[in-house]
Chain A
Amino acid sequence: MAADFDINREMSKIEAPVISFEHVSKEYQKGIAAIEDINIRIYKGEFVFIVGNSGSGKSTLIRLMLKEILPSKGKVFVAGREIGRLRKFQVGKYRRSIGVVFQDFRLLKDRNVYDNVAFAQQVVEAPARLIKRQVPKMLSLVGLIDKAKSFPNELSGGQQQRVALARALVNNPVILLADEPTGNLDPKNSWEIMSLLEDINKRGTTVVVVTHNQEIVDRMQKRVITLKNGRVISDEEKGRYRYAKN
């Protein structure tokens, strides 16, 4: 039987990159490519924006990294290991090393803030004492320790996204994927979330943010990968937002 996939162990063997797309194409329907011949390398500790208009293939990249879908062509490597080759029983363990936040927060409405964060540890069968230690730590990190007993509908959009961030971070992921994390937030809350993501990145987590928010991208001066019609049209260190119209 193949051994469980342990991303920390795998990463200790290699220097970089932590995420690598090699000539990756994905066709949902025959002949219609969502992404085509993508070559991207993201290194450990980087903060990367992926930008592009609707239908440019940004979400496909996220889904490929999560192994929700498989590429039609090419290979996706995470920590040096081709994730397409992961067996079904290894996928769960692999995903525990990747935190994800979404535009619509995806919180459980019938559970309070504490339980939403604890849920992420319960489902990976973490010991109760670890949950008791980790959840308050994460809630403090995102500044919501005083809202532990509140339910999602009692929180603002920004606060809900911070709960989602705490949930994504509670299992100590090596990579954090954020799919339009500020899409439903006002500018003030958007900046609070981005500043939290920056803090998380400074602690060593590789952060990949898919966004439409030009102001944030331009002001943060991070690496920017721009997609258009499923292809990478630019990849710049300390880049700016290039809105690539069709």
Chain B
Amino acid sequence: MRKIRTLFYCLKQGFRGTWKNRVYSLASAGTITACLLLLGIFYFVIANFNHAVERAESLVGFTVFFDENTTEERILEIQEEIRLRSDVAEVIYISAEEAWENYKTDSLNEELSATFGSDNPLIDSASLEVSLNDVSRQKAVVGFVESIPDVRKVNHSDSIAESFEGIKTLLWVISIGLIVILMAVAIFLIRTTISTGINVRKEEISIMSIIGATDFFIRAPFVVEGAIIGILGSILPMGILYVMYGEIVRTIKEQFESVFTSMNFIDRTEIMHQFVPLALVFSLGLGIIASHMTAKRQIRKIELQH
């Protein structure tokens, strides 16, 4: 009962402090809003990029060719050996006949095909097409396959895998850098807000301390104030991002259909489900930690002054 009463007291004082200090509180919430907007934009870009990479990863793979006279039985053995790896998604066996049929369909006209009769110029071109679970594992898997006896050649492209990783890293570095700068601004403003609130209530705090209030009781209303600032700062960007994401995805699909024909965006509800908890943890955490640290230091100063 006592704890509940104390909780209500702290909440009431926290709301009262936020209202009394509304200009600073709004400025601090505004910086958190800016932080979250940036975080959201980068999160959406990176999440969609990852989504696209995941799709591409299922397409990116390599082809394995074998030494002359390698039997089909041996090739199937190697197929099983590769398939057992956890980083391999799928291994498809393309027999010499299938390879020739595919080549004929894709690259030769009927007249030219007919000149070959029943000959198969690709008699030694049976192959395995390997696709991966994780594009970054390509090098390792290729190395493994190349070491298998009877494997003649592995056709692969490192550059696709490497460029995907490179872009992802660059995006993360830019976003983290910007977020760190904005976080520093937000912390500074929250500290100013809480310090102003504490200065206004300096007399009250010194009386509370002398009368025998606990540190928690004195500090908690200011931490509540920080949490309110955090929540206030997160409402607007979540709304903006929700609307903005839908509009941007729709515009891209309409305006750049030919370029992004194969681009598959994450559903708006799904991406918001991922982002909202992240945004709340970020803004609440920022508000609570910054206000707690400021309150602790400022209140100690007041206690020493009196």
Q: Does A31 contact B (CB under 8 A)?
A: no
Q: Which of A68, A92, A106, A125 contacts B5 (CB 8 A)?
A: A125
CB interface residues, A 89-147, toward B, < 8 Å: 89, 92-97, 100, 106, 108, 119-120, 122-125, 127-128
**CB <8 Å contact, B203 and A95:** no
Q: Are the CB atoms of B203 and A123 closer together than 8 Å?
A: no
Complex contact B215–A92 (CB within 8 A): yes
Residues of A within 8 A of B206 (CB): 106
Contact yes or no, B211 A120, CB < 8 A: yes
Cα of A167 to Cα of B212 in the assembled complex, Å: 12
Give Cα distance in the complex from A92 to B212, angstroms. Answer: 4
- B208: CB under 8 A from chain A? yes
The answer on a CB contact under 8 Å between A123 and B211 is yes
Complexed CA–CA distance, A33 and B79 (Å): 89
B residues in contact with A125, CB < 8 Å: 2, 5-6, 217
Complex Cα gap A124–B9 (Å): 12
Contact across chains for B213 and A123 when beta carbons are under 8 A apart: yes
Q: B207 contacts which of A66, A68, A88, A106 (Cβ < 8 Å)? A: A106
The answer to whether A226 has its CB under 8 Å from any CB of chain B is no
How would residues 196 to 207 of chain B score, 1 for a CB under 8 Å from any chain A CB and 0 otherwise? 000000011011
Among B5, B204, B215, the residue within 8 A (CB) of A128 is B5
B214 contacts A by Cβ under 8 Å: yes
User: Once A and B bind, how many residue pairs between them come within 8 Å at the CB atom?
Assistant: 52
Q: Which of B9, B203, B306 contacts A122 (CB 8 A)?
A: B9
- Whether A171 sits at the interface, judged by CB under 8 Å, is yes
B217 touches A108 (CB 8 A): no
B210 interface residue (CB < 8 Å to A): yes
Tell whether B303 is near chain A: CB-to-CB under 8 Å: yes
Tell whether, in the assembled complex, residue B2 and residue A123 are in contact, meaning their CB atoms are under 8 Å apart.
Answer: no
Residue of B nearest to A108 (CB): B204
Sort chain B's interface into a size bin: 20 to 34
Separation of A167 and B210 alpha carbons in the complex (Å) = 12
Q: In whole Å, how far is A128's beta carbon from the nearest beta carbon of chain B?
A: 7
Report the minimum CB–CB distance from B181 to chain A (whole Å): 36
CB-contacts of A65-89 with B (<8 A): 66, 68, 88-89
Cβ contact within 8 Å between A123 and B208: yes
Tell me how far the C-beta of B160 lies from the nearest C-beta in chain A, rounded to whole angstroms: 60
Q: Closest chain B residue to A95 by CB distance? A: B212
Chain B 254-279: CB-based contact to A (< 8 A → 1; otherwise 0): 00000000000000000000000000
Q: How far is the CA of A88 from the CA of B209 in the complex (A)?
A: 12
Instruction: Kindly state the separation between the CA atoms of A108 and B200 in the bound complex, as whole angstroms.
Output: 12
Residues of A with C-beta under 8 A to B214: 89, 92
Which chain B residues in 2-39 approach chain A with CB under 8 Å?
2, 5-6, 9
Task: Please state if A127 and B207 are interface contacts (CB–CB under 8 Å).
Answer: no
Contacts of B209 in A (CB 8 A): 95
Residue of B nearest to A98 (CB): B212
In the assembled complex, the Cα of A89 lies from the Cα of B303 at a distance in Å of 15
Residues of B within 8 A of A122 (CB): 9
CB distance from A91 to the nearest CB of B (A): 8
Of the candidates B207, B211, B303, the one whose C-beta lies within 8 Å of that of A124 is B211
Of residues 184 to 199 in A, which have CB atoms within 8 Å of B's CB atoms?
Answer: none
A124 to B212, CA, bound (A): 6
How far, in angstroms, from A95 to B5 measured CA to CA in the complex? 22
Interface residues of B in 210-230 (CB under 8 A from A): 210-215, 217
- Across the interface, do B215 and A88 meet the contact criterion of CB distance under 8 Å? yes
Contact B207 A108 (CB under 8 A): yes
Min C-beta distance of A8 to chain B, whole Å: 14
- Cβ of A135 to closest chain B Cβ, rounded Å: 14
| A127 close to B2 (CB less than 8 A) | yes
| Interface set of B (CB-CB < 8 Å, partner A) | 1-2, 5-6, 9, 203-204, 206-215, 217, 303-304, 306
What are 7 inter-chain pairs, A to B, with CB distance below 8 A? A96-B212, A106-B206, A106-B207, A108-B207, A120-B211, A125-B5, A171-B211
